[in-house]
């Protein structure tokens, strides 16, 4: 055997080879059959699974965000627009040398070198390397141009257009309009995810929030075919988005601007309403802030600065500021007294300078120590006599006061579409029991009678009540929108107007209010000088710092922030009221001067053809008058 | 017939056959030393391959042109090699093998690193060259040349020598690292030994030993190689990383269905979901666009080529030719099986192209050189007395 293996045996070799080759051939066929079996499994048995998977692979549904509706003032002046901005994005996968690209970007955009590190951070935001990461938003024209020229050196770097909300008069309009901001996680939970799939911004406050649904519109969809890198290759189908509806507001941009300038950076608020319609012509809270900062996302330092600002610029005083109304509510109380029959227009009260409840030694003081003597309805308003209203309030009682004042809108939200409005507070017996678990004391009714004590109003409430007064009792619902798209805002007419037994009593109250401005004793007679139309108003002072029983008030001695708030409410012209205004200037001292001047400037601007008085000139007058504070 | 012709028939000129129509036609092919059946099948495969490549390359004509040029070069190489006599091949075998081994060592020392692996030998300004490709042919030649002088089946001593001849280059190539090529080179050598009559007991013993060596192999693998094996076992474990290829290729094939989505209509391939779609994964494009029908057709075409190749090997006149031809054609099948197996997800991802369809010059030239040798072997047998 061993020997035979030493020799070559061609016959045997051929035999062995044939055997092996045959076996190999069988194996080849068997293995090929196995491959075919696998293919049958994939392509026939599992075909459905894979065809679904391949469809899912390539077809993607992309949301098409609608364009946000624009906001105009009553004259068609644009208040909120959509500005195209350009963002810098980077697709990491397509960048060959990230370091070099980032360095070049920093150089081209003329940014500090440290920015490169921030860019690097942001380029890692996206998990998948083919998704664009946002490096920088709001590129300038020059930056876009430089990027365009150097495009060939920057593969994977894109400049993307995006519409961004922009408020041309941000500071003046900030509180009335509100603003949009990036949707946060909390909002995302409560949103219609489909409709907001492509939207990044949502109304946060103000009109932008109130009319979010109309302004936003309906998102569209498109089916696109993409490649493995997520790049869209073609569109397979689409349903177009329905753009948001444009909003026409009742605000008048010029009047709003004037109001803001009149406040001159002082803390305060001015609200103007057209009495017949309830349209809010101006609604200003000062100081304002640049709402554009909030659109792209405000940085922490700036936000903290705004939050910690002692003047609270983010606080919307017009609808959330709660102030004691002071004497501005005297006309309403007079009307309540007339309606309830507690007084007649000819009732006369003797004022010794104070009022005393029966069986009580405490003296409730008139602001004029020696008293006004004989005071009738008109005079009570003109000189803002307290004793008259102590008497009236005491006789009315808190329950009737609460009922009557509620009908003017106090203690409740009055706006139809004003987001975030505060109801403020109109005290009542029930309220006090609920709040303090105490009975109502008669002395507290007296405080309410001169607009102090627990009573709090917002500037909007005061303006709305003034408008109702100017309407002879037809209550108004203040609103900010005039039309949503082409559709005018329809408010239901007033179902329960305030009706007096004698319609002329309105005129008696108006007469008293006119005397405030034109009477020789009127608290705002300086303001009323040279009026070209008939105007009624009422001054008010809200105490910030309460005085002791026998202390005298000396504005100069008090620190500025402890000084009284100045209030004024007014409407004009008397025979056909076109505008009702409420003005509150915080810590301005006596209301008969500062606030009244501002109110007059507003009515002048609205009613007179000629240009509004120079704001500068007015400020001088205010400064002069502030030096000699009289009355309240 | 002269004595010389009897002893060494390939050293003489072919004898002109008698002047008859049939023999003249036959004589054309025999003068060219080509097998018309095999050539026809190869040309059909290449033609079909170019068609698929056009689609797989994203309809880029330049790619197809480049591939066609390579096919032309490969055909020329085949025709040239077919002219060589088996004796010449045998004589050159040690030289080719030695040269190839020397170059592998050179690559090991100073090779060019491309795509994370050290495979290329660069002669500056002239060419980049993969010695491992050359080894695919030099290996079976060398072992066949060795064994054909020994009595068969091979003795234990012969097997040991063959093992050494086989092991050294395979290890060097595996170290580059190029698992696919080392596998093909190893197969090419093993097939020679198997066809030479390796005893079944030995095959079983080796199989057992290989199974025992698997953990050892695992420990010596590169991380990316291990990852491929793990991914093969469970592609979903890393769907965006190394599992991506398998998921996308099975999706492509599976979504093709019975008749496919149509030429140039495969979404997986045209939309670039399929990676390496015009090289190693080209068969997925075929499967997606031509469906099961296309896949079975091409597999049958390959089977015909292999069948014809085995037949030619079988008719070879001496052991060297038989063993070499058998090894070449069986290695060709290994290409096919490993590639289709990996793309359809029954084998781990190993860098083996689909023969004569995948884009790539070197492998086409090597394959056609192999077929050239196959034809040289069959062409020269006719000159022997029946």
Say whether A226 and B271 touch across the interface (CB within 8 A): yes
What are A245-288's pLDDT values in tens digits? 999 999 999 999 999 999 988 899 999 999 999 999 999 998 99
Query: Does residue A485 come out as left (phi exceeding 0), alpha (psi in the -120 to 50 range) or beta?
Result: left
Burial A604-622 (b: 16+ CB within 10 A, else e): bbbeeeeebbeeeebeebb
- Provide the chain A residues 216-255 that lie in CB contact (below 8 A) with chain B: 225-229, 233
Domain boundaries, chain B: 36-83+235-386, 88-220
Q: Return the minimum-mean-pLDDT range out of A114-123, A162-171, B114-123.
A: B114-123
Beta bridge partners of A82: A165
Say whether A5 and B240 touch across the interface (CB within 8 A): no
Residue A487, helix vs strand vs coil? strand
Q: Which helix (H) or strand (E) holds A106?
A: helix A98-108
pLDDT at A126: 53
Helices (H), chain B: 3-7, 21-32, 36-56, 61-83, 86-110, 131-147, 156-174, 179-197, 200-219, 223-233, 243-256, 267-270, 282-314, 319-343, 361-381
Which portions of chain B are predicted below pLDDT 50?
A: 1, 4, 9, 11-12, 17-23, 115-116, 125-126, 384-386
Average predicted confidence (pLDDT) for chain A: 85
Q: Which residue has the tokens 């008749």?
A: B259
Q: Do the beta carbons of residue A494 and residue A473 sit within 8 Å?
A: no
Q: Show the tokens assigned to B13.
A: 């000129």
Q: Do the beta carbons of residue B165 and residue B189 sit within 8 Å?
A: yes
- Cα B331 to its chain centre, rounded Å, is 5
Closest C-alpha among B288, B296, B295 to residue B255: B288
Q: Which residue has the tokens 């000088």?
A: A529
B241 vs A: CB within 8 A: no
pLDDT at B385: 43
> Cβ contacts of residue A259 below 8 Å, gap of 6+?
A270, A272, A282, A284, A598, A602
- The minimal CB distance from A54 to the residues B152, B251, B340 is found for B251
Q: Which helix (H) or strand (E) holds A434?
A: helix A429-436
What are A390-439's pLDDT values in tens digits? 999 999 999 999 999 999 999 999 998 999 999 999 999 999 999 999 99
Percent of chain A that is helix, strand, coil (3-state, to 5)? 40, 20, 40
A45 vs B: CB within 8 A: no
Q: Which residue has the tokens 């056909």?
A: A576
Distance (Å, rounded) from C-alpha B134 to C-alpha B127?
14
Across the range A470-481, mean pLDDT stands at: 92
Across the range A141-145, mean pLDDT stands at: 87
Distance (Å, rounded) from C-alpha B283 to C-alpha B344?
9
- Residues of chain A in contact with residue B248, where contact means CB-CB under 8 angstroms, are 57, 228
Count of residues for chain B?
A: 386
- Enter the pTM of the model: 0.63
Q: Do the beta carbons of residue A479 and residue A418 sit within 8 Å?
A: yes
Nearest-5° angle of CA B106, CA B107, CA B112?
Answer: 130
- Provide the chain B residues 121-150 that lie in CB contact (below 8 A) with chain A: 150
Q: Do the beta carbons of residue B279 and residue B353 sit within 8 Å?
A: yes
Query: What share of chain A has pLDDT > 70, as a percent?
Result: 91
Residue A609, helix vs strand vs coil? coil
What are B297-306's pLDDT values in tens digits? 999 999 999 9
pLDDT at A549: 45
pLDDT at A536: 94
Q: Show the tokens assigned to A134.
A: 């946002």
Distance (Å, rounded) from C-alpha A114 to C-alpha B138?
60
Q: List the single best residue of A4, A11, A14, A21 to mutate versus B (max B Cβ within 10 A).
A: A21
- Residues of chain A in contact with residue B304, where contact means CB-CB under 8 angstroms, are none
Predicted confidence band of residue A631 (pLDDT cuts 50, 70, 90): very low
- The minimal CB distance from B306 to the residues A7, A18, A28 is found for A28
pLDDT exceeds cutoff 80 at A554: no
Q: Return the minimum-mean-pLDDT range out of A36-45, A166-175, A587-596, B179-188.
A: A587-596
Across the range A589-608, mean pLDDT stands at: 84
A8 vs B: CB within 8 A: yes
Q: Do the beta carbons of residue B350 and residue B338 sit within 8 Å?
A: yes
Distance (Å, rounded) from C-alpha A439 to C-alpha A448?
15
> Cβ contacts of residue B159 below 8 Å, gap of 6+?
B193, B198, B202
Residue A483, helix vs strand vs coil? strand
pLDDT at A236: 80
A195 vs B: CB within 8 A: no
CA distances, A179 to each of A166, A250, A283, A293, B329 (Å): 9, 18, 15, 9, 76
Beta bridge partners of A568: A539, A583
Say whether A32 and B337 touch across the interface (CB within 8 A): yes
Strands A481-484 vs A247-249: parallel, antiparallel or unpaired: antiparallel
Across the range A24-39, mean pLDDT stands at: 94
pLDDT at A5: 47
CA distances, B34 to each of B22, B49, B54 (Å): 16, 22, 29
Give the closest-approach CA distance of B372 to chain A in angstroms.
20
- The minimal CB distance from A39 to the residues B240, B314, B344 is found for B344
Q: Exposure of B200 by Cβ count < 10 A (0-12 exposed, 13-18 middle, 19+ buried)?
A: exposed
Q: Which helix (H) or strand (E) holds A581?
A: strand A579-585
Q: Which residue has the tokens 């909030």?
A: A294
Q: Exposure of A363 by Cβ count < 10 A (0-12 exposed, 13-18 middle, 19+ buried)?
A: middle
Selected residue with higher pLDDT from A565 and B272: A565
Residue A532, helix vs strand vs coil? coil
Q: Show the tokens assigned to A114.
A: 């440290």
Distance (Å, rounded) from C-alpha A352 to C-alpha B149?
144
pLDDT at B258: 92
Q: Show the tokens assigned to B185.
A: 């080179």
pLDDT exceeds cutoff 60 at A76: yes
pLDDT exceeds cutoff 60 at A603: yes
Longest dimension (CA), chain A: 154
- The minimal CB distance from A13 to the residues B295, B319, B340 is found for B319
B151 vs A: CB within 8 A: yes
Distance (Å, rounded) from C-alpha A306 to C-alpha A312?
7
Selected residue with higher pLDDT from A51 and A282: A282
């Amino acid at each position: 055997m061993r020997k035979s293996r030493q020799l070559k045996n061609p016959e045997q070799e051929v035999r062995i080879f044939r055997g092996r080759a045959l076996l190999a051939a069988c194996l080849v066929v068997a293995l090929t059959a196995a491959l075919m079996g696998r293919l049958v499994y994939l392509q026939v048995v599992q075909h459905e699974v894979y065809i679904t998977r391949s469809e899912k692979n390539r077809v993607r549904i992309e949301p098409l965000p609608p364009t946000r509706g624009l906001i105009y003032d009553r004259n068609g002046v644009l208040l909120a627009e959509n500005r195209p901005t350009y963002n810098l994005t980077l697709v990491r996968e397509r960048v060959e040398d990230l370091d070099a690209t980032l360095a070049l970007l920093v150089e081209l955009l003329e940014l500090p070198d440290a920015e490169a590190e921030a860019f690097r951070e942001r380029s890692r935001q996206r998990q998948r390397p083919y998704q664009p990461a946002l490096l920088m938003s709001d590129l300038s024209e020059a930056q876009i141009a430089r990027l365009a020229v150097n495009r060939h050196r920057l593969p994977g770097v894109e400049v993307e257009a995006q519409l961004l909300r922009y408020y041309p008069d941000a500071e003046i309009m900030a509180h009335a309009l509100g603003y949009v901001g990036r949707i946060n996680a909390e909002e995302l939970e409560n949103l219609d995810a489909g409709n907001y799939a492509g939207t990044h911004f949502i109304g946060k406050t103000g009109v932008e929030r109130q009319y979010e649904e109309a302004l936003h519109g309906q998102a569209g969809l498109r089916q696109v075919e993409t490649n493995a890198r997520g790049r869209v290759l073609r569109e397979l189908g689409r349903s177009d988005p329905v753009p948001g509806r444009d909003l026409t507001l009742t605000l008048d941009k010029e009047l709003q601007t004037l109001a803001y300038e009149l406040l001159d950076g002082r803390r305060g608020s001015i609200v103007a309403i057209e009495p017949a319609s309830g349209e809010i012509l101006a609604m200003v809270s000062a100081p304002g802030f640049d709402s554009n900062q909030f659109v792209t996302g405000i940085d922490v330092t700036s936000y903290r600065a705004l939050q910690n600002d002692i003047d609270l610029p983010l606080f919307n005083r017009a609808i959330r500021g709660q102030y004691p109304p002071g004497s501005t509510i005297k006309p309403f109380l007079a009307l309540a007294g007339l309606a309830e029959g507690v007084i007649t227009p000819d009732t006369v009260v003797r004022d010794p300078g104070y009022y005393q409840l029966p069986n009580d030694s405490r003296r409730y003081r008139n602001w004029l120590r020696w008293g006004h003597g004989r005071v009738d309805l008109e005079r009570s308003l003109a000189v803002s006599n307290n004793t008259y209203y102590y008497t009236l309030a005491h006789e009315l009682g808190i329950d009737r006061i609460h009922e009557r004042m509620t009908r003017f809108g106090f203690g409740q939200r009055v706006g139809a579409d004003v987001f975030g409005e505060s109801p403020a507070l109109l005290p009542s017996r029930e309220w006090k029991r609920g709040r303090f678990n105490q009975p109502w004391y008669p002395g507290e009714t007296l405080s309410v009678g001169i607009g102090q004590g627990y009573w709090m109003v917002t500037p909007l409430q005061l303006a709305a009540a003034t408008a109702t007064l100017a309407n002879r009792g037809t209550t108004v619902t203040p609103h900010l929108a005039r039309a949503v798209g082409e559709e005018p805002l329809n408010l239901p007419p007033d179902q329960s107007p305030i009706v007096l037994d004698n319609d002329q009593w309105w005129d008696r109250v108006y007469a008293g209010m006119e005397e405030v401005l034109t009477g020789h004793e009127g608290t705002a007679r300086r303001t009323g000088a040279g009026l070209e139309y008939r105007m009624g108003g009422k001054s008010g002072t809200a105490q910030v710092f309460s005085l002791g029983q026998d202390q005298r008030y000396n504005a100069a001695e008090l620190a500025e922030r402890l000084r009284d708030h100045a209030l004024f409410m007014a409407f004009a012209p008397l025979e056909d009221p076109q505008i009702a205004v409420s003005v509150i200037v915080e810590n301005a001292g006596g209301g008969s001067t500062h606030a009244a001047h501002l109110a007059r400037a507003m009515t002048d601007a609205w009613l007179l053809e000629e240009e509004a008085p120079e704001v500068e000139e007015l400020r001088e007058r205010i400064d002069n008058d502030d030096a000699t504070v009289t009355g309240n | 017939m002269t004595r010389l012709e009897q002893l060494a028939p390939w050293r003489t000129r072919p004898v002109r056959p008698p002047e008859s129509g049939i023999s003249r036609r036959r004589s054309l092919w025999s003068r060219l030393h080509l097998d018309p059946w095999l050539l026809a099948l190869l040309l059909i495969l290449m033609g079909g391959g170019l068609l698929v490549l056009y689609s797989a390359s994203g309809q880029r004509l330049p790619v197809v042109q480049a591939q066609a040029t390579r096919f032309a070069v490969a055909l020329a190489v085949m025709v040239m090699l077919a002219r060589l006599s088996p004796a010449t091949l045998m004589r050159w075998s040690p030289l080719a093998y030695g040269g190839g081994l020397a170059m592998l060592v050179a690559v090991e020392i100073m090779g060019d690193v491309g795509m994370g692996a050290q495979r290329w030998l660069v002669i500056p300004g002239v060419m980049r060259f993969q010695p491992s490709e050359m080894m695919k042919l030099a290996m079976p030649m060398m072992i066949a040349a060795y064994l054909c002088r020994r009595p068969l089946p091979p003795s234990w001593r012969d097997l040991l020598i063959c093992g050494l001849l086989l092991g050294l280059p395979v290890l060097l190539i595996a170290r580059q690292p190029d698992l696919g090529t080392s596998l093909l080179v190893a197969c090419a050598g093993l097939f020679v030994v198997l066809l030479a009559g390796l005893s079944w007991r030995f095959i079983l013993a080796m199989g057992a030993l290989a199974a025992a060596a698997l953990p050892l192999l695992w420990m010596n693998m590169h991380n990316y190689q291990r990852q491929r094996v793990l991914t093969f076992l469970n592609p979903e474990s890393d769907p965006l990383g190394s599992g991506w290829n398998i998921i996308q290729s099975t999706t492509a094939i599976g979504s093709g269905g019975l008749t496919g989505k149509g030429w140039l209509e495969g979404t997986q391939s045209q939309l670039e979901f399929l990676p390496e779609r015009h090289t190693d994964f080209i068969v997925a494009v075929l499967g997606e666009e031509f469906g099961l029908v296309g896949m079975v057709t091409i597999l049958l075409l390959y089977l015909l080529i292999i069948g014809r190749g085995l037949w030619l090997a079988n008719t070879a006149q001496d052991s060297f030719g038989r063993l070499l031809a058998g090894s070449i054609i069986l290695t060709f099948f290994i290409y096919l099986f490993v590639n289709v197996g990996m793309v359809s997800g029954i084998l781990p991802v190993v860098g083996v192209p689909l023969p004569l369809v995948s884009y790539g010059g070197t492998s086409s030239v090597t394959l056609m050189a192999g077929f050239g040798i196959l034809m040289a072997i069959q062409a020269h047998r006719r000159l022997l007395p029946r």
